[in-house]
Structure 1
Amino acid sequence: MHRRGLRKGLLCGLALLCLVNTAFGLDPTRKISQYVHDKWGDDKGFVGGRIYAIRQSSDGYLWMGTERGLVRFDGSNFILIKRPLPDSPPISHVRDLVTDASGNLWTRLEGPSMLLYRDGKFEDPYARFDLQDMTFTATVADDAGRVILSGLGEGTFRYEDGRLETIVSADQNPGIVISLATTRDQSIWLGTQANGLFRVSQGHISRVAQELKDLKINALLPADTGGVWIGTDNGLHLWEGGVLAKLNLPSPLRQLQILTMVRDDDANIWIGTNHGIVRITRSGAVSLDQLNPKSGYEVTAIYEDLNGDIWFGGSRGVERLRNGMFTTYSTSDGLPSSGMGSVYADSKGRVWFAPLSGGLFWMKEGRVGHVSVDGLDHDVVYSISGGGGEVCVGRQQGGLTVLTEEGDSFTARTYTEADGLAQNSVYSVHRDRDGTIWAGTVSAGVSRLKGGKFTNFSDANGLPSNAVNSIVEGFDGATWLATPSGLASFANGHWSKYTARDGLSSSMVRTVFEDTTHVLWLATSGGLAFLSSGQIQVPERLPEALREQIFGIAEDGTGSLWFTTSDHILRVNKDRLLSGTLSDLDVQSYGVEDGLLGVEGVSRDRTVVADHLGRIWIALKSGLSLADPIVTSKDAVPTKVRIESMAAGGSRVNMQNPIKISSGIQSITLNYGSTNLAVPERIRFRYKLDGSGQGWSETVASRQVVYNNLGPGTYLFRIVASNSAGLWNGPETSVPFVIEPAFWQTLWFRMACLAACCLIVLAIYRLRIHQLTGRLNVGFQERLAERTRIAQELHDTLLQGVLSASLQLDVAEDQLPEDSPAKPLLKRVLQLMSTVTEEGRNALRGLRTMEPGNQSLETSFSLLRQEFSLDGKTDYRVIVDSVARPLRPLIRDEVYRIGREALLNAFMHAHANRIEVEVDYSSRHLRVLVRDDGRGIDPQVLHAGREGHWGLVGIRERSERIGANLRLRSRIGAGTEVDLTVPGSIAFEKDSNGSISQWFRWLRRERLETPKHDKGK
């Protein structure tokens, strides 16, 4: 078969594979030698010996089946698992690894034994799936993820839904099957140890490829055309269209021993041989640059991981091929030498470069060309610039050369001192947008070529120095020159200059570069500076590498700045650099692990440039390197975080949900890793613990977090990771857990404490009420005794004296003649004294009256009708709204006196037609309401009282003494209301109010509002 057929088959495979895979494989345009090649042997911790199989599980671990056992790799450390099952003997040879549709890892051991890794644990599938004592010699997973197993003398089986389905019975067994494959037509291919190749289709088994009937079939791989690739001890073969196709392959591949094969996500075929690894791209190109004629370089296992990296191994350990940030070109790729000088990328995809050893070259799509016109092949090129279809070259001895492309060749026009050039040694050259060419010389200033004529400028015209290191045209048309003595600017025919006195770190300016935001960046011998809005500034928080001498500056398609120094290649976040908020995470340093052969920069003009695609080309002493940040970022595989373990108080926690942690734990530790195995030291993490009140953490590189003194509750640990390119494009991983409370932290304990506090408060309250009641009783008894004494003294002195005087006047009046003019006067005096005597008796009766203990309040109010003479027009009623409750005697007496005083005012002053007393024994309070429809009281008198009258004053004072709420409402012509409310906890006998809440209401003094009032009538 010709190469075109091979290419067609590979292209078909790519189309099919891209439909089911989202990972990005290795860049097929690179040679194998241009990938980053990582190796781990005994010297780097690999402990497995010869490798037979490689697979990656869904949790991100890389597993290797080796002659010493099962090896697990997390990106940093290798762990040899000798005893996966604690109760089973240790294992040795692991022959194969297969991943099924559920992400479970099937591990085929030597002899009648297998392991199944699922959900982070190992188990014995023989016991789980009733596999008896079968010895399997080959395993594979079909397109649906179903595992196919071929047993030694047992036949071939398909495992699905927990059972084994027989595909080839024992009596049909073609021999010892050592390789398996499934093709899209549902055929199963069996490669034997000594009997050639067999095919199982629609339940029938048949031999294919008679030419291979006695060969050992080491590896099988489905071909895109429906056939199968066959790897034998005698080279690579392809069964296609019912025949063994003839392949147009390089002779080494036809003779090598083919040990294993795999197809990557870009449909490239990777082949492990007894002399190294080989790649066949989907275009049919064969890469043999990793073959080694020596023995001991066999590749027995190949695998493409979740990141698209290729892992392979044999007897020398495990190796990995991956895309680095850089593709480096060296002498093996057609470059004339390793050391590179100036670089220029034109608009047609051609990159021009000048080796330090001399000459001018270009590269396009991997092809290298050489320019030899006008003696360029014998001269050293210091600087390259261009535009408008021209390439301008500054030479060490030959002056200024301008190249113009004409078809496949170039015409050249060289300018020297004879043409007006200031000096034939041109160190820096630049072509403006309008076609003007500037040529900065080594020691004679700068020459401007415009309209075919030169104009020369030197320090006599305003240049800081006659040596020019770099030239650039600004966005406004100004021309900027870097010199050893400062920065120069030419605009509108005038020169300006800037030195260390104007803010430069050093007057020695090595390079000048203008970015897309029109900021002018200046590389000096003292570090980095920039010119913006006419002011030179030194960025704050510069990394140490940017405080040294900088050789080159460029900006990529993502807006990041690139710098080269004597020993650093840096990519820096431009916005953070300008704002002075640069952190370590905003500076990426690259090295050999990123595809570079070295990091030593070159002191020439334009050693770092960006092409029209935003890619960065860097000239180094180790070669010419290309970085593509846009594609690298776009193709970056999302990184998932793997929670490796959890410990509480130093003890490992079972990660099975739900995770419950007992109380009293002082610290919780979580260890985690990432599924990205490429450059794990660049992976960064951010985490958050919901339930702790803390936000997202700072970006960290550590793989452990410890939380101390967490209280009981429900928590959710959340964590995300960036990939090695710094992108946060991965999913979030979360772990919920619960810290159980101690008994003193439980709800029932807190409720019990609350209840106890309430009881204590209640007891204190009741004790206080008892104390207040006792004080009230003592006060009442004292006041009663005082009133009794006053009543006795008034009766025995004042009232008796008035009666005696009245009798004397009555005798005197009887002795006067009827016609005496004094007799009417004495009669009026006697009548007045009689009135005073009656009022005195009433006052004394009020002072001494005490209702009997068994007489209710409403009864006492009803008897007042007998005490006060009422005319027949006044309707007097006493109304009870509820069942009477036992009252505290002292409270009853005070309430009675307040009510009696209110009724006395109504009887004597209101001239009312209706007087009512309403008594309400509510569960919350005792209420007495006295109302009449009389003439009312002037609001001013109601508020301020009447001079010489103490009735309202007494009512208010009595109500305040017993903690009652008194309201007086009246107006002229609308009657009067006296509303007295006493809290039930004060008014009623113990336990008579029936509501504990009333005590708390009284304790909080939530009483009805009492209007402000003064002394009454």
Structure 2
Amino acid sequence: MVIPVAVIAQTSEKEVLHFKNYTIEDGLSDNRIRDITQDQQGYIWVATRSGVSLFDGYSFEIFRNDPDDKNSLSDNNVNAVFADLDNTVWIATVSGLNRYDRGSNTFTHFFHKAHDEKSILSNDIKEIYQSKNGSLWFSSAQGISRYNKDSQTFEHFIPSPTENIKITNDFLNFPIAESEDGKIWFVTYRDGLHNLNPETGELTSMRHDPKDPQSLPSNNIFNLFIDRDQVLWVAYDRRINLDQSLPNLDVPIGSNSGLWKKDLKSGTITHYSYHPEKGHPLWEQVSDIKQTEDGKIWFTILDMYFADSFRFYDHRNDQFLTYTYKANDPNSHAWNYCTSIFEDQFNNLWLGTSRGLSRADRKRAKMGGFSPNPSDANAFENLFYGIEEIGENIFLVSRESQSPIIWNRITDEWKVVPNISPTSRSAIYDGKRSVWNLSIQNELELIDVTFLKKESFIPDKTRVENVALFDFVRFSDDALYLTSNRNFLRFDIPKRQFEEVSLISPFGSIETFVPDLLTVEKPGTIWLSGSNALLDSITGERGILLAQYVVGSGEIFFPEINDAYVSALATGTANHLFIDSNGELWISKTNGLVRFDPDSRNFTVYNQKNGLRYINVLGVIEDEYGMIWLSTEYGISRLNPKTDKVRNFGKTDGLRPSRLNPNSFLNCNNGELLFGGVGGLSFFHPKDLLEQEKPPLIHIVKFLAGKTRIELSTTNEVMLPVDIPWASNAIDIEYVSVNFRYAEETNYAYRLEGYQEDWVNNGSRRFVQFSNLAPGTYTFHVKAINIDGISSLQPSTFSFRILPPWWRTWWAVTLYALIFLAALVANLVGLYFIWAGIPFGSKD
């Protein structure tokens, strides 16, 4: 067996796609996907071989045929699903067409009837399409049908009437397209391509003519598509035996492999032959062709043997770039056998395969990643700590239990540097060809990374076993400064000597000041911090002690330790110090982040209350736009120092490390940021981490009150207030913002008009309960707030009326009034008899 493989040098920039996959284990009705669509409320509808799945970003709801329910789906084997402009969802199965009724949660069926020419053309509908004028079209092997909404009947257009067409390939498509002149293009079984003038009913067919090289290359059409430039794309196959897979054939270079396009404006025809060097791959059964919002044209192929069955057209280089399924890559799509492609209104790209549903967020953070051993995220080779740039796109990455590696970002090649000791600290590049390193043996090392020569320096040879080096910085070309468990050190680079630096303690002889972290503030000063240091000699309060050391004079200054200082720094342990471009000091702690302004002496504390997802802050860096980036234990966060707005990023955004490590962050010379940890490292440019621009959708799903249950799951229809009996005035309301990007980060706020004046923040909870509401009319309002703080354009609302108990109804009040009047009249009559001296019961 000869397997043709296209090895393409993909010089054109290919969009990085990170997929999240869904299977039956996530609630999907079946792993074999057939079609995908989205309704106006944002729900994703997935057609499978075992029913239809409805997805809101949180969970799947399944619709299947129930033999005991005549209003259920007509068959579980679904070919197509489509949401029309009226937000009606149509579902085509192998045994009938279905229209979903949102109000009743049932299906209306349309079946072919042999003696009714206005019934649907076939029970096995393959494709559903809506033209620009709103007409709905349904395709089958014989032809297409146009739906009349008013009469609920169908008009058929059949190019070559043929009875008893038997199709053995269940995945054959009969797609429909529309050109800008309003003509409808469609395919019939082994009968070429046809276009219909829907106004006149005139049919024109295009078929293969062996004598005309400009004719359609084959009558066996697998798929067709008309792009925005009015180019007709046709996927075809000339093989007699269509059941035999192309990779099982010996396909010569230059053979017509099945993709043909025609410019409908100019008439220009292009034939893509199998030519791997030109980026022209094989084309077997093309299951879907779609154009996304950015103009890219995507193709899916039905063949598990094709390593490139998901691809797009690169118009600049007239080639096709591919995405290959990778079993060991958690960001790969689910499988090679690709059935459908769909872009939703949030720019998510959904891919159907025979092994599940895949989603790529095309608006997500564009993060790249690197792991020496990508097949095992937890391998020791992937356990990264300090990162230092030692050349253009060349990085030295420290590892605590192994020697560091040098990674070439451009070639993605790496090698171990055996001469450098393992360490959890970042090395410091001298700008030439050497790096300084703190080893786990508590030695200072100078390594020539070109020739791998090393010099080692011991701070105190007399006490080497008792000295622990904590941190170090390169102050100048002549000096390094280091912290240790014993003292503050200066290393004279030209002399290759250590010098102890004397530091004055703010508490004199009560306790010496031994810093463990440091950072350089230009010009000429170094900020120091000591953890678990004495803050108050009277109370014994301890915490993080800050100090500013002036290198030239040797002076040291300590900020005033007042209530604000104690509140900010008396708890937690410092992990990292950083001076930003404005001269402010950032102290990363085990329980949050502290910002200190040396001029105003003001402290600002950031933790969960400010939006941080994780508060063990390992360190911070600043990007070229002035944003502060936090490396926390299980994710990264971006802080806008002008607004204090926090945005969190994690695995959903493509962050590769499952846990971030201390000292494993870097601002590169080209403006990119790197973060490392368990599983490798991630890199990105801050400009590529865009905010969500579209406001979140919101709608009410269910309303429950006693025996009153109203399903509102996929409709925003305006309803009159619903009457609720007094005995059922305990109300439950469920709502949802359909969101596939950061569903768990979506928050909700609600207000019950008639009961509450202000909005109530309900966090991420998607339900609310009210009890013992007084009789009256209420309107429930709810809105969603996404991860970037953007609220829904308008809230979703639902009105209801709590009826009064029977003793407070109008007729009860009327009865009370009549009884009162009757009693009053009787009392007045009695008084009259008494006043007149007329005995009761007298006839006078």
TM-score (ref. length: structure 1)? 0.58
The answer to whether structure 1 residue 102 and structure 2 residue 86 are counterparts is yes
Which residue type is aligned with residue 218 of structure 1? Answer: F
Distance of 2:811 and 2:642 partners within structure 1? 54
The answer to whether structure 1 residue 490 and structure 2 residue 523 are counterparts is no
- Go from structure 1 to structure 2 and tell me whether the alpha carbon gap of 1:633 and 1:227 turns closer, same or farther (over 3 Å shift): closer
Q: What is the deviation of 1:330?
A: 1.0
Normalized per residue, the structure richer in helix is: 1
- Go from structure 1 to structure 2 and tell me whether the alpha carbon gap of 1:162 and 1:60 turns closer, same or farther (over 3 Å shift): farther
The answer to whether structure 1 residue 593 and structure 2 residue 619 are counterparts is no
Report matched runs for 1:920-959 at 5 Å.
none
* Count of residues in Structure 1 that have an aligned counterpart in Structure 2: 712
Show the counterpart of 1:473.
521
Normalized per residue, the structure richer in strand is: 2
Q: What is the deviation of 1:628?
A: 6.5
Q: What is the deviation of 1:54?
A: 0.9
Q: Can you list the C-alpha shifts for 1:888-944, whole angstroms capped at 9, x where unaligned?
A: xxxxxxxxxxxxxxxxxxxxxxxxxxxxxxxxxxxxxxxxxxxxxxxxxxxxxxxxx
Q: Can you list the C-alpha shifts for 1:751-792, whole angstroms capped at 9, x where unaligned?
A: 776898899999999999999x99xxxxxxxxxxxxxxxxxx
Structure (1 or 2) with the larger CA radius of gyration: 1
Show the counterpart of 2:665.
607
The answer to whether structure 1 residue 180 and structure 2 residue 242 are counterparts is no
Are the aligned partners of 2:144 and 2:156 in contact in 1 as well (CA < 8 Å)? yes
Show the counterpart of 1:354.
396
From 619, 626, 648, the counterpart of 2:705: 648
Are the aligned partners of 1:616 and 1:626 in contact in 2 as well (CA < 8 Å)? yes
- Specify every segment of 5 or more residues in structure 2 that has no aligned partner in the other structure, as ranges: 1-9, 168-172, 210-214, 238-245, 247-256, 329-333, 375-379, 506-511, 534-544, 837-844
Q: What is the deviation of 1:331?
A: 4.4
- Go from structure 1 to structure 2 and tell me whether the alpha carbon gap of 1:600 and 1:50 turns closer, same or farther (over 3 Å shift): closer
Distance of 1:292 and 1:541 partners within structure 2? 39
Q: What is the deviation of 1:53?
A: 0.7
Show the counterpart of 1:551.
618
Report matched runs for 1:228-307 at 5 Å.
228-232=232-236, 237-240=259-262, 241-246=267-272, 253-273=281-301, 274-275=303-304, 276-280=309-313, 283=316, 286-291=320-325, 297-307=336-346
Are the aligned partners of 1:30 and 1:327 in contact in 2 as well (CA < 8 Å)? no
Distance of 1:455 and 1:155 partners within structure 2? 87
The answer to whether structure 1 residue 712 and structure 2 residue 775 are counterparts is yes
The answer to whether structure 1 residue 132 and structure 2 residue 132 are counterparts is no
Q: What is the deviation of 1:607?
A: 1.7
Distance of 1:383 and 1:697 partners within structure 2? 47
Distance of 1:643 and 1:130 partners within structure 2? 42
The answer to whether structure 1 residue 31 and structure 2 residue 16 are counterparts is yes
Show the counterpart of 2:377.
none
Q: What is the deviation of 1:169?
A: 3.7
Q: What is the deviation of 1:263?
A: 2.0
Show the counterpart of 2:734.
671
Are the aligned partners of 1:155 and 1:169 in contact in 2 as well (CA < 8 Å)? yes
Are the aligned partners of 1:58 and 1:103 in contact in 2 as well (CA < 8 Å)? yes
Q: Can you list the C-alpha shifts for 1:271-291, whole angstroms capped at 9, x where unaligned?
A: 222245334456557543424
Which residue type is aligned with residue 189 of structure 1? Answer: W
Are the aligned partners of 1:685 and 1:700 in contact in 2 as well (CA < 8 Å)? yes
Distance of 2:805 and 2:90 partners within structure 1? 44
- Go from structure 1 to structure 2 and tell me whether the alpha carbon gap of 1:553 and 1:756 turns closer, same or farther (over 3 Å shift): farther
Q: What is the deviation of 1:687?
A: 0.7
Q: What is the deviation of 1:679?
A: 3.6
Distance of 2:560 and 2:575 partners within structure 1? 14
Show the counterpart of 2:370.
330
Q: Can you list the C-alpha shifts for 1:206-264, whole angstroms capped at 9, x where unaligned?
A: 21565765464333222344222233466551312342433676668325542222222
Are the aligned partners of 1:446 and 1:468 in contact in 2 as well (CA < 8 Å)? no
Show the counterpart of 2:352.
313
Structure 2 SS opposite 1:43: helix
Q: What is the deviation of 1:137?
A: 3.5
Report matched runs for 1:64-463 at 5 Å.
64-83=46-65, 86-87=70-71, 90-116=74-100, 121-124=105-108, 126=110, 131-135=118-122, 136-153=125-142, 155-157=144-146, 168-171=157-160, 178-200=174-196, 203-207=202-206, 214=218, 216-232=220-236, 237-240=259-262, 241-246=267-272, 253-273=281-301, 274-275=303-304, 276-280=309-313, 283=316, 286-291=320-325, 297-323=336-362, 324-325=364-365, 327-331=367-371, 338-343=382-387, 353-356=395-398, 357-358=403-404, 383=426, 394-395=436-437, 428-429=472-473, 439-441=480-482, 458-460=500-502
Are the aligned partners of 1:297 and 1:314 in contact in 2 as well (CA < 8 Å)? yes
Q: Can you list the C-alpha shifts for 1:442-486, whole angstroms capped at 9, x where unaligned?
A: 769565999x99998633365988987441326x87432456786
Show the counterpart of 2:249.
none
Show the counterpart of 2:331.
none
Structure 1 SS opposite 2:760: coil
Distance of 1:755 and 1:517 partners within structure 2? 82
- Go from structure 1 to structure 2 and tell me whether the alpha carbon gap of 1:100 and 1:167 turns closer, same or farther (over 3 Å shift): same
Distance of 2:808 and 2:775 partners within structure 1? 8
Structure 2 SS opposite 1:91: coil
TM-score (ref. length: structure 2)? 0.68
Are the aligned partners of 1:280 and 1:287 in contact in 2 as well (CA < 8 Å)? yes
- Go from structure 1 to structure 2 and tell me whether the alpha carbon gap of 1:120 and 1:472 turns closer, same or farther (over 3 Å shift): farther
Report matched runs for 1:34-49 at 5 Å.
35=18, 37-49=19-31
Report matched runs for 1:489-888 at 5 Å.
489-491=548-550, 493-496=553-556, 503=566, 504-505=569-570, 509-515=574-580, 519-523=584-588, 528-532=593-597, 539=605, 550-554=617-621, 562-565=629-632, 567-571=633-637, 590-604=649-663, 607=665, 609=667, 616-626=673-683, 632=689, 634-653=691-710, 657-664=719-726, 665-746=728-809
From 29, 47, 56, the counterpart of 2:38: 56
Which structure exhibits the higher relative contact order, with contacts defined as CA atoms closer than 8 Å and separated by 6 or more residues?
2
Distance of 2:285 and 2:186 partners within structure 1? 19
Q: What is the deviation of 1:559?
A: 7.8
- Go from structure 1 to structure 2 and tell me whether the alpha carbon gap of 1:170 and 1:636 turns closer, same or farther (over 3 Å shift): same
Are the aligned partners of 1:663 and 1:740 in contact in 2 as well (CA < 8 Å)? yes
- Specify every segment of 5 or more residues in structure 1 that has no aligned partner in the other structure, as ranges: 1-6, 11-27, 404-410, 579-585, 775-1017
Distance of 1:459 and 1:509 partners within structure 2? 22
Structure 2 SS opposite 1:113: strand
- Go from structure 1 to structure 2 and tell me whether the alpha carbon gap of 1:360 and 1:377 turns closer, same or farther (over 3 Å shift): farther
Are the aligned partners of 2:435 and 2:446 in contact in 1 as well (CA < 8 Å)? yes
Distance of 1:173 and 1:271 partners within structure 2? 30
Identity %: 17
Structure 1 SS opposite 2:739: coil
Are the aligned partners of 1:394 and 1:426 in contact in 2 as well (CA < 8 Å)? no
